[in-house]
C-alpha cells in the first residue's frame, strides 16, 4: 500500500508531466512505483533507481579496492 503522501505528491506532479518527459524515480524497490506506473500510462520513458544504485556500488567498490574494472 502506498503512503498517503506518495499518493498526493504523485497527483500533484502528474499535472505537469507530458509524454515527452523522462521520469527517473530514485526508488528501486518496488521497481515500479506509482510515479513510474502513472508515467508509463502517459507514455513517458521511465527509469527506476536500480541502475543508479548499481552504478554507485560499482564506483564505491572501485574507490575502496583501487580497482579499475
The rounded Cα 51 to chain-centroid distance in angstroms is 9
- Strands (E) across the chain are located at 22-24, 45-47
Which pTM value belongs to this model? 0.71
What is the per-residue pLDDT for 10? Answer: 78
pLDDT digits (tens, 9 = 90+) for 10-69: 777 888 899 999 999 988 888 898 889 999 999 999 999 999 999 999 999 999 998 766
Greater confidence, 10 or 5? 10
Greater confidence, 4 or 15? 15
Residues spanned by the domain of 10: 4-65
Q: Are 45 and 22 a contacting pair, CB within 8 Å? A: yes
The total number of structural domains in the chain stands at: 1
Amino acid at each position: 500500500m502506498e503512503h498517503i503522501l506518495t499518493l498526493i505528491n504523485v497527483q500533484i506532479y502528474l499535472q505537469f508531466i507530458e509524454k515527452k518527459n523522462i521520469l527517473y524515480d530514485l526508488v528501486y524497490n518496488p521497481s515500479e512505483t506509482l510515479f513510474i506506473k502513472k508515467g508509463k500510462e502517459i507514455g513517458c520513458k521511465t527509469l527506476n533507481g536500480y541502475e543508479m544504485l548499481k552504478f554507485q556500488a560499482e564506483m564505491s567498490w572501485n574507490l575502496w579496492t583501487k580497482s579499475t574494472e
